[in-house]
Amino acid sequence: MKTPHCHDVLVIGSGAAGMTVALELADKYQIALISKSAIQSGSTWYAQGGIAAVFDTEDSIESHVEDTLEAGAGLCHEDAVRFTVENGPDAIRWLVKQGVQFTRNEDNVDYHLTREGGHSHRRILHTADATGKEVSSSLADRVLQHPNIQVFPSHVVVDLITQADRGSSRMRCTGAYVLDNEQDCVRVFQAKAVVLATGGASKAYLYSTNPDGATGDGIAVAWRRGCRVANMEFNQFHPTCLYHPNAKAFLVTEALRGEGAYLTLANGARFMDKFHPKAELAPRDIVARAIDFEMKRLGIDCVYLDISHRPKEFLKNHFPTVMAQCLKYGIDITKEAIPVVPAAHYTCGGIVVNQKGQTDLWNLYAIGETAFTGLHGANRMASNSLVECVVYGHSAASAIRESIESIPEPDKARPWDESRVTHSDEDVVIAHNWDELRRFMWDYVGIVRTRKRLARAHHRVKLLQKEIHEYYSNYKISRDLLELRNLVLVAELIIRSAEQRKESRGLHYTLDYPDLSTVAKDTIMVPINFAGQNFIVSKR
């Protein structure tokens, strides 16, 4: 029998959110940090654009709040927006203390601020066009150096462990079963508090800007243990993903449009002014839908993003990552336009939490893209996500510090039992089901939806769930199987949420209900085994 790993706090996920909460608690508590692959393999690493916060003297907190509320199409919770925006500058200062170096102006005093879609001012702090890499590297350096943080790479969460409080029917989270992918065994991790920071679920779609690990693991394991999820129908499609047969989901940062890039057709004609007065700087949902409309109208495979009119030195200094990546495929952005298509990018919904990051299950927290805080509403505004990771990471850490001393040690969990399963000789089933799921989600639950498409998707997802459950019950688990099991569950939640919304709002656009409802209402899904903490999330 393998000895359980026992820590004060278990953090599942090693992006900006997970590393923030780990670093905030590590000076006093023992932390286990679980990472699917290497510690820098999550979505944070790939974030090019930047982090939104008010630093310009001509900008204001109120302006950032108003821009976010407008982008969210009536579904943002204003108290969550204000909480994030007001704490944004402090979050930036904390990152700088951790070693993050943001690009500065030529005077080397003030930060260089750029502008992205939906923002009325320049408020995007960045490190050239590789902000996520800088943030991830700096935090990872601190994490790996800290004696109280034990990192477990190549570990994948299987399910959460819960127990009833002594003398109470109230359930609380006390750890997780985790697959050690290198040793091919399931280990028990126990802790007084558990934090889910596993990212989003954009790999449910055929085309995505996300790394392979974005399979909705946190959302799935929380749902299975009785936590509510909300607004899963709002999956953001980034308007500009590099279109090339050999390029694997390379995101072309929105900052290019913030610095004057045009969206054009093959003949060089611009088209965004027909869809929104802000043209290329319109919110992402509008830009993605406009591109989708033009591609379907003309029967074309892509549109083009052109910034070749800006000086070469400017492009080299501000967009070295985009320039180098495009050159790999023979595209010189200083001379020609970049072929682009929309791709699934960000999960705006997630596990319902309050302002402390607490879920419906006691001692279980969720932060970052896996959580639903109310910040993003029906459409996430560019560069608000990384600041949310840090702000809510600090908030969750504060809540854990306040409560952890009063939490009793968890009871010893039962070891993982795999005595009745066998090794599979039919792994092709996993590959086939994975491919089918992502294809019908792209075709039926994509940028533009209909009732018939959603019904087809619902029918297919139920059949897949039955097949995958049977496979999971009989064969030894693997990372691919765990991710497929989680992704098919999250896909069902996305489909069911989309079927419930009888309007078009933000990222959810349906031909059957093209108008905006007069009532702005979240889609909250309640599991049959609802854990029932019954807190008020926040207010719109």
pLDDT at 41 over 80: no
Hey, which residues are catalytic here? 284
Mean pLDDT along residues 97-108: 90
Is 62 part of a structural domain of the chain? no
pLDDT at 521 over 70: yes
Mean pLDDT along residues 411-426: 81
Between residues 41 and 179, which one has the greater pLDDT?
A: 179
What does the pLDDT read at residue 118?
A: 83
Residue by residue, DSSP assigns 78-91 as: HHHHHHHHHHHHHH
pLDDT at 237 over 80: yes
Mean pLDDT along residues 30-34: 98
Is 43 part of a structural domain of the chain? no
d(CA 100, CA 87): 18
What does the pLDDT read at residue 170?
A: 80
pLDDT at 419 over 80: no
How does strand 124-125 pair with strand 51-52? Answer: antiparallel
Considering Cα of 133, then 30, then 80, then 214, what sign does the dihedral take?
A: positive
- How do residues 299-345 score in pLDDT, each as one tens digit? 898 999 999 999 999 999 999 999 999 999 999 999 999 999 999 99
Number of domains in the chain: 1
Question: With pLDDT > 70 as the criterion, what percentage of the chain qualifies?
Answer: 97
d(CA 118, CA 379): 10
Is 331 part of a structural domain of the chain? yes
- How do residues 136-161 score in pLDDT, each as one tens digit? 999 999 999 999 999 999 999 999 99
Going by the DSSP 8-state scheme, the letter that residue 253 receives in this structure is -
In terms of DSSP H, where are the helices of 98-236?
131-145, 217-224
For position 244, which CATH number holds?
Answer: 3.90.700.10
Give the CA angle between residues 484, 374, 122 to the nearest 5°.
105
Is 169 part of a structural domain of the chain? no
pLDDT at 55 over 80: yes
Mean pLDDT along residues 279-303: 90
Mean pLDDT along residues 406-435: 85
Q: CB of 224 within 8 A of CB of 39? A: no
pLDDT band at 211 (very low <50, low <70, confident <90, very high): confident
Is 261 part of a structural domain of the chain? yes
pLDDT at 185 over 60: yes
pLDDT band at 30 (very low <50, low <70, confident <90, very high): very high
Residues 6+ apart with CB under 8 A from 511: 448, 449, 450
Lowest mean pLDDT among 97-111, 173-187, 331-345, 507-521: 97-111
Mean pLDDT along residues 364-390: 95
Mean pLDDT along residues 248-274: 92
Mean pLDDT along residues 174-182: 96
Lowest mean pLDDT among 82-91, 322-331, 410-419, 519-528: 410-419
Is 42 part of a structural domain of the chain? no
Cα atoms found within 13 Å of the Cα of residue 372, Cβ hemisphere only: 35
pLDDT at 504 over 60: yes
Mean pLDDT value across the chain: 92
Is 354 part of a structural domain of the chain? no
Lowest mean pLDDT among 52-61, 73-82, 467-476, 485-494: 467-476
pLDDT band at 536 (very low <50, low <70, confident <90, very high): low
d(CA 331, CA 354): 46
What does the pLDDT read at residue 425?
A: 66
Between residues 89 and 250, which one has the greater pLDDT?
A: 89
Lowest mean pLDDT among 42-56, 187-201, 361-375: 42-56
Is 304 part of a structural domain of the chain? yes
What does the pLDDT read at residue 248?
A: 75
pLDDT band at 232 (very low <50, low <70, confident <90, very high): very high
- How do residues 461-479 score in pLDDT, each as one tens digit? 999 999 999 989 888 899 9
pLDDT at 538 over 70: no
| Cα 64 off chain centre by | 21
d(CA 485, CA 464): 9
What does the pLDDT read at residue 349?
A: 97
Cα atoms found within 13 Å of the Cα of residue 119, Cβ hemisphere only: 30
Mean pLDDT along residues 375-397: 95
Mean pLDDT along residues 85-97: 97
Phi first, then psi, for residue 315 (nearest 5°) are -65, -40
Domain region containing 334? 235-345
